[in-house]
Structure 1
Amino acid sequence: MKKYFVTAALLATTLAMAQQRDTTAPAPAGRPGGGLPGGANMTMRQGPRPYREVITDKAVTKKGLFTVHKVDDRYFFEIADSVLNREILAVTRFTKVPGGGGKYGGEEINEQSLKFEKGPSNNIFIRVVTLISRADSTTAISKAVNNSYLDPIAAAFDIKAFGKDSGSVVIDVTDFFKGDNQIVGLDANDKRSFGLTMLAADRSYIQSINTYPLNTEIKTVKTYSASAGGGFGAPTPGAPSTPSLPAARNAGAITLELNTSMIILPKVPMHRRLFDSRVGYFADRFVVFSDDQQKVDRQTFAVRWRLEPKPEDMDKYKRGELVEPAKQIVYYIDPATPKQWRPYLIAGVNDWQKAFEKAGFKNAIVAKEWPENDPTMSLEDARFSVIRYFASDIENAYGPQVHDPRSGEILESHIGWYHNVMKLVHDWYMIQTAAVDPKARKMKFDDELMGQLIRFVSSHEVGHTLGLRHNMGSSSKTPVENLRNKAWVEANGHTASIMDYARFNYVAQPEDNISEAGLFPRIGDYDKWAIEWGYKYTGESDEEKDQLINNKWIIERLAANPRLWFGGEGGNPDPRAQSEDLSDNSVKASEYGIKNLKRVLAGLPEWTKEEGDHYDNLSEMYTQLTGQFNRYMGHVTKNVGGVYETFKSVEQPGDVYEATPKAIQKEAVNFLNKQLFETPTWLLDKNILNKISTPATSERLQTIQTNVLNSLLDGGRLFRLVASTDRFGAGTYTVDEMMEDVKKGVWSELTTKKPIDTYRRNLQKAYVEKLASLLNPVTPQVSGLPAGFAAAFTNTKNTDVTSVARGVLRSLQTEVTAAAQTAPDKMSRYHLQDVADRIKKALDPK
């Protein structure tokens, strides 16, 4: 599974490979190629022998990428000269794993680019290819590039024989694949996660090797000695965390089944499509050097499948006719998948057909059931993309892909589908839509409803395997009132992208009578556009010229349809790009959402009833409901100190960065004061709380209030307000205005003279503690980061943030001291006196 950019990871891999232990040394005397008895490190090298003496009549031979011979218990690769020095991608996956380790059969554990090459002494080397930079071999600077990046030799093999026609070499790979080799096995992190120590060679073996025209598949069984781990108690401080696996506890050993796919990469890489921040694709990159440069070019390119018209259809394609691609994208459904869900997983894949039609292709993508009676097919075979079904209680699914690091060409994908993802979608759908959809009002949904929920998750994960990143900003392009417009939302969907975390339409009200078509996410306008941008064939092999064509497409399309906007993945301060949110107005959307939450809360005691249940269902769903309420608070909070970021090229008008409008920020603070900081007593339903928790249990509402307040008064947010005023000038929401608005809401009893309830007292203490922490901010200590990386932290000590915090505390101290004299009840007076003392200590610690 690739990350967005792999340069740092490749550097780390280079260092690791340079230290790789050679596990292919000749065996002791009495074994094939044995060394001298008692000779320690001394071995007797044998030169290549006649072919028939190595590959005897006993050999069982299979032809493919490597011709594989099995002679007795030894495996030999016959490597054609045409394959030497070709780049090969080695992908290793778990086939079977011990229970309790959090890993599952079908998951990827290793991925390396490598090549076989002839060494100087009748031997063959495996080099790990670390693609960091490149240069055209005809340029002078290519010599400097070659001198600067030497790929590590990870393994060496004696040439046992030359092929019959001298056009190939034969090597013995038995010990290499049986051994503990990082490039085709587990790395140090994987071993630590399982608590593994030494490989048990007598219980490790090659299960099978099969070979095909473009790939060779090696299945191995590896047994390791293993510690029992730390058990289920509290870990020792500072000690590494290791699992307590039943196999390790019972046998002191763990056995794994692995599959390594060795896939030859195309001799001529697919043409690269240069990455553009205005369309959300995963990307890879390397540094390009050339003689005519005046600066280094870091070429970043999109990750996507090779989708091209058949040569005989090229004229039709250019005329705008839909044509079938030269190679169809096919996904198979794991036969371990329960039969009732297979049609919905297939539908989730096939839903992308209409998107590929925008790129000019018909029948470009299809899902099929796995042919269970075909012995020539293996689920781990790298020729096949599979939705793998995991027997797991994890509430998730994921969509990785394996791609050619030279071009970004996706080669295959194994989507991970955890069985318990059904609980996740059930809980989302009940909490977000039960107010409007009666089918959501029970703990076990009908198969048809659950199937449709599975279908939307399938489409989302397949989107990732097509190269698409999350587009958390997509839903912000839907006006909030359109989410209540039955005709509009059922025709267009509540978000323009299924790659958004928009989930379900929680804004729709019961009186709107909106059907599932207006509640469910679907492949939308942005998704179709993103597929068109990534897969429309230009016929242009020059990346720079292809980029100019794509730039023109983007400018024209975004100008014509703002719903095609890519808003990023929510990692920036832009409030338009958030997960789990809806619409262009988070305040109004959240107000509608809260109305529905009140309806759902009233129904939960009845909807969660199941015979024999000890209120576990009610407890779980109440937790989900308060979690949804918390999301609404977070959506609104992000507007405060928000900065819009709209990626643009120089041809497009307007700025890239703008402050979130002042009116929106003020509205957000007012919402928080009203909906959260004024105690939302509707959440404190005693009919529910008295059945699911004791009074001493940590109160969810109090936690939400404190967390949101701390986030609102976070030093980084306050500094953005200061910096935005400096950058954008008059009309921005100043830090002083924001602090005054929050103070009025949190401390309203100072003017109303009303009693201060328990939740408000706790909130006000948290307010003082947070401001006090801003007076002398301490850089957080974050451990475990790689060298050269630092945690994100805004040091506000020498900024206006500290001055404002001190000024607010001084003003509040005067007001609180005065209010304590006239407090309407004893607890309020005690509280205000306590707060006054805390402020005094914060301002003058001595």
Structure 2
Amino acid sequence: MPPAGTNGTGGTNGTPGTGTPGAVAPKSGPKSFASFFDRSKLRTEKGLIVVHFQDDKYYFEIPNALMNKDFLTVTRYVRMTPGAGVYGGEQANENVLRFEKGPENKVFLRTVLNVVASPDSTKPIYQAVRNSNVDPIVAAFDIKAFNRDTTGVVIDVTDFFKGDNQVVSLSANTKRQFGLASIASDRSYIETIRSFNDNTEIRTSKTFTSVPSSGGFGQPAAGPASLPAARTAGVVTIETNTSFIRLPDVPMKRRAFDPRVGFFADQISEFADTAQRASTETFIARWRLEPKPEDVEKYKRGELVEPKKPIIYYIDPATPDKWKPYLIAGINDWQVAFEKAGFKNAIIGKEWPKDSTMSLEAANYSAIRYLASDISNAYGPNVHDPRSGEIFESHIGWYHNVMKLLQNWYFIQAAAVDPGARKMVFDDQLMGDLVRFVSSHEVGHTLGLRHNMGSSSFTPVEKLRDKEWVEKNGHTVSIMDYARFNYVAQPGDNISRKGLYPRIGEYDMWAIEWGYRWTDKSEEEDRKESNKLIIDRLSKNPKLWFGGEGRGNDPRAQTEDLSDNAMKASDYGVKNLKYVVKNLPEWTKEEGDRFENLSEMYGAVLSQFNRYANHVARNIGGVEQTYKSIEQAGDVYAPTPKAKQREAVNWLQGQVFTTPSWLLDKNILNKIAEPVNNNVNTLQTNVLSSVLSASRLARMIEASERFGSTNYSALELIADLKAGIFSELRTGSATDMYRRNLQKAYVERVIALLPTDAAATPSASPVPVINTKNTDVPSIARGHLTELLAEVRSAINRTNDKVSKYHLMDIAQRIDQTLNPK
């Protein structure tokens, strides 16, 4: 490769090369700014990156000062092809990119894959880190000219941005998902490039070829055929916007992640000459909130001050006007939490300015984007500096049909106590309040907060029926919980909506205080101070416990549950569901409706009852996890109390495994379903399968070994389940169809616990399967089946009902064939 400054043919500029003898090589290489651009045609826009436009080409002017500096690039959809399931405003890609000078008058663009840090670039360890990591070069640009004062270079970026370059376009996975092939360059172009002080925005229109795969005769095509444009035109056009944001030369001071407070986190590897090993530094994601220089002393004295730069969220102008005030209120609800961190007016919701030149896709504005979609959801992401966790912006996705989800939730959980919920279309005030609650929840995510599914577990169940208490304190201490609405409140409690809605609570205020309090101390001093603060607060107020996302085995941290006792809370919930079912035909009436409303809301009742059952079941074999540092007394892991586990089994026996006849309302079923749709049995079987899962039993066996007789054992669970589900064996009484189906499901579930050749073969499933072959699980299952077989055979002759007798004979044969295969 020739050195920089040569013409690439073996000779230097203006000297003979290796071509025709005696010929002078043409002058090549970068030109001066004045000779390259025609001032009469040139358009220039100054900003983070100076952008020049001439003769349908775009040029970046990269000053030397920006070489080897990190840029965060965020690509969003502006307009998306129909049927893709993503919408304008949603994020498509994110990368860290870096310009650097290369040989032969080139500028390279690298993507930074591994974010590593070394405290001091003058130390040998810094060079070792650089030697061990090389980031890929994703593009190379010829230097076309020097800038006016020769302190930078000019490169042509037209083809780079209009082409299919992954780091500023769609990822390979996304293109596979949508069935996109090569880019059609004649139908792809740059719409605009705008540059501002802190960001440069590139908007493009890209067209991709897409050949839909064909399905069989009479069958729909698969894969990309789901995109109408692919079927109709063979191409798909997508409009995107890519934001370039320069990452700060000095990253924001990091706050070390602590699992006792629920923040999203990032991490980097750190190397130091003085350390004996590399460290992984994990830190939280948060906005940069700092007091103004003139207010620092006031802040330190504990006075509320306004931040140097507040957090501002705009409302998408496409949002229906009547919901805008509620979305803004949901944003501003967080102001009280930031006051705990010492800042007033720290977060502000605003309408999008009219006749504004601002861009909703730009990465220097945060917004709630209103997405015209039938998806029933909303989500709150953020874009942050991977080196420090500093959040730069957020585009909250607000799907139109989230209101349908809210209507279903509130109808099912609150209609028993709120007459306003007893209809299929809520009035604007009620729906607006529900929109406000979801707005607050999603904004919380964009502030860095994770779900806290354990927040509701510190509310005593009876307090949820105490009008004065619950209206003052709320039914959960965190809006980041999936606590939804107060389904425990009963019709006679006279609790207003104030005691039914979620709100910013004690935990939320604590989390914002911990994450956003400002300090001028070092990161290590801040880490120690944070630990002391957490210990102090949790010791004084256990309700500030962070329970996590609800994915583990801790029954205190569950989605959509309430109170400190799932069994008692679910009893109240079932009472309300019975009241709702009784009135469902009347409350779902709408002119011309062909019982679609009734069917939908009955399904929602089944789903809610299923939630109650699973909330209860989580207590069986439950293991409570409470993160602690070494300064705190007590264990991190402890079993759910034995009495509570047995209470859970008794609840399931009474509410689920005993046929829930209140769900079998013929006035409803005869209008919405054929007799073959046995949803109640499906629910019963699913709950039973969960309770008798191999993983749960294995965990209970291990827990009994560790915690001793204080733990509810697997043997006790099996005995209690059998006593309830097969109670007819003792009495000889007839069993109804639901009980017969449940008993068969029970036997099949226990049989499934026995090892088979298939079970011993490693599964190809990405979900890990617990191999219990060489544990006590199959031993207990085999012994239990042997005892059950004897009891069933004994009961057959005492049973007079013919169908029940046949049923027992069938069960006996299934067990016998399993234990004594031919």
TM range (shorter): over 0.9
SS of the equivalent of 2:475 reads coil
In structure 1, what is the Cα distance between the partners aligned to 2:316 and 2:301? 39
User: CA offset at residue 782 of structure 1?
Assistant: 6.2
Map 1:76-95 → 2, pairs under 5 A: 76-95=59-78
- Matched with 1:434 is 415
SS of the equivalent of 1:574 reads coil
Given candidates 188, 197, 203, the residue that maps to 1:204 is 188
Deviation per CA, 1:335-382: give whole Å up to 9, x if none: 01000000000000000000000000000000100013012x000111
User: Does the C-alpha gap of structure 1 residues 461 and 783 become closer, same or farther in structure 2, counting only changes over 3 Å?
Assistant: farther
Amino acid at match of 2:697: L
In structure 1, what is the Cα distance between the partners aligned to 2:544 and 2:778? 41
User: Does the C-alpha gap of structure 1 residues 510 and 167 become closer, same or farther in structure 2, counting only changes over 3 Å?
Assistant: same
- Matched with 1:309 is 291
Q: Does 1:347 align with 2:329?
A: yes
- Matched with 1:582 is 562
User: CA offset at residue 45 of structure 1?
Assistant: 10
- Matched with 2:107 is 124
User: CA offset at residue 243 of structure 1?
Assistant: 4.5
Map 1:426-825 → 2, pairs under 5 A: 426-540=407-521, 542-697=522-677, 699-776=678-755, 778=759, 785=766, 791-825=767-801
User: CA offset at residue 780 of structure 1?
Assistant: 8.4
Deviation per CA, 1:639-672: give whole Å up to 9, x if none: 0000000001111111000010000000000000
> What's the TM-score, normalizing by structure 2?
0.95
In structure 2, what is the Cα distance between the partners aligned to 1:782 and 1:48? 60
User: CA offset at residue 194 of structure 1?
Assistant: 1.7
In structure 2, what is the Cα distance between the partners aligned to 1:336 and 1:784? 43
- Matched with 2:232 is 250
Q: Does 1:411 align with 2:392?
A: yes
In structure 1, what is the Cα distance between the partners aligned to 2:728 and 2:218? 44
Structure 1 stretches of 4+ with a deviation exceeding 6 A read: 231-236, 779-782
- Matched with 2:124 is 140
| Paired residues, number | 795
SS of the equivalent of 1:675 reads helix
In structure 2, what is the Cα distance between the partners aligned to 1:340 and 1:235? 44
Deviation per CA, 1:193-239: give whole Å up to 9, x if none: 22111111100000000001111000000001112356799989xx9
Amino acid at match of 2:376: E
User: Does the C-alpha gap of structure 1 residues 327 and 564 become closer, same or farther in structure 2, counting only changes over 3 Å?
Assistant: same
Q: Does 1:396 align with 2:372?
A: no
User: CA offset at residue 460 of structure 1?
Assistant: 0.2
- Matched with 1:295 is 277
Alpha carbons 2:465, 2:490 under 8 Å: kept: yes
- Matched with 1:321 is 303
In structure 2, what is the Cα distance between the partners aligned to 1:45 and 1:154? 28
User: CA offset at residue 386 of structure 1?
Assistant: 0.7
Alpha carbons 1:402, 1:410 under 8 Å: kept: yes
CA RMSD of aligned residues (A): 1.7
In structure 1, what is the Cα distance between the partners aligned to 2:475 and 2:214? 47
User: Does the C-alpha gap of structure 1 residues 662 and 230 become closer, same or farther in structure 2, counting only changes over 3 Å?
Assistant: farther
In structure 1, what is the Cα distance between the partners aligned to 2:679 and 2:775? 34
User: CA offset at residue 471 of structure 1?
Assistant: 0.1
In structure 2, what is the Cα distance between the partners aligned to 1:157 and 1:246? 37
User: CA offset at residue 771 of structure 1?
Assistant: 0.8
In structure 2, what is the Cα distance between the partners aligned to 1:780 and 1:222? 47
- Matched with 1:264 is 246
Alpha carbons 2:212, 2:223 under 8 Å: kept: no
User: CA offset at residue 840 of structure 1?
Assistant: 1.1
User: Does the C-alpha gap of structure 1 residues 320 and 235 become closer, same or farther in structure 2, counting only changes over 3 Å?
Assistant: farther
Segments of 5+ residues of structure 1 without an aligned counterpart are: 1-25, 27-43, 786-790
Percent identity over the alignment is 61
Alpha carbons 2:337, 2:509 under 8 Å: kept: yes
Alpha carbons 1:434, 1:600 under 8 Å: kept: yes
- Matched with 2:312 is 330
Q: Does 1:192 align with 2:179?
A: no
User: CA offset at residue 563 of structure 1?
Assistant: 1.2
Alpha carbons 1:341, 1:454 under 8 Å: kept: yes
In structure 1, what is the Cα distance between the partners aligned to 2:27 and 2:498? 72
Alpha carbons 1:231, 1:243 under 8 Å: kept: no
Amino acid at match of 1:700: N
- Matched with 1:68 is 51
SS of the equivalent of 1:527 reads helix
- Matched with 2:23 is none
User: CA offset at residue 132 of structure 1?
Assistant: 4.0
User: Does the C-alpha gap of structure 1 residues 355 and 60 become closer, same or farther in structure 2, counting only changes over 3 Å?
Assistant: same
Amino acid at match of 2:746: Y
Amino acid at match of 1:346: I
User: CA offset at residue 242 of structure 1?
Assistant: 3.5
- Matched with 2:264 is 282
Larger mean CA deviation between 440-449 and 121-130 belongs to 121-130
SS of the equivalent of 1:431 reads helix
User: CA offset at residue 730 of structure 1?
Assistant: 2.2
Alpha carbons 2:760, 2:773 under 8 Å: kept: no
User: CA offset at residue 144 of structure 1?
Assistant: 2.1
Amino acid at match of 1:440: A
- Matched with 1:5 is none
Amino acid at match of 1:823: T
In structure 2, what is the Cα distance between the partners aligned to 1:461 and 1:248? 34
User: CA offset at residue 390 of structure 1?
Assistant: 0.4
Deviation per CA, 1:596-626: give whole Å up to 9, x if none: 0000111110010000000000000000001
Larger mean CA deviation between 714-723 and 293-302 belongs to 293-302
Q: Does 1:835 align with 2:818?
A: no
Segments of 5+ residues of structure 2 without an aligned counterpart are: 1-7, 9-25
Amino acid at match of 2:104: S
In structure 2, what is the Cα distance between the partners aligned to 1:611 and 1:232? 41
Alpha carbons 1:482, 1:488 under 8 Å: kept: yes
User: CA offset at residue 555 of structure 1?
Assistant: 0.7
User: CA offset at residue 131 of structure 1?
Assistant: 2.9
SS of the equivalent of 1:301 reads strand
Alpha carbons 2:72, 2:246 under 8 Å: kept: yes
User: Does the C-alpha gap of structure 1 residues 67 and 231 become closer, same or farther in structure 2, counting only changes over 3 Å?
Assistant: farther
Given candidates 219, 226, 248, the residue that maps to 2:210 is 226
User: CA offset at residue 240 of structure 1?
Assistant: 7.3
In structure 2, what is the Cα distance between the partners aligned to 1:355 and 1:584? 25
User: CA offset at residue 82 of structure 1?
Assistant: 1.2
User: Does the C-alpha gap of structure 1 residues 700 and 73 become closer, same or farther in structure 2, counting only changes over 3 Å?
Assistant: same
Alpha carbons 2:212, 2:222 under 8 Å: kept: no
SS of the equivalent of 1:406 reads coil
User: CA offset at residue 792 of structure 1?
Assistant: 3.1
Alpha carbons 1:193, 1:243 under 8 Å: kept: no
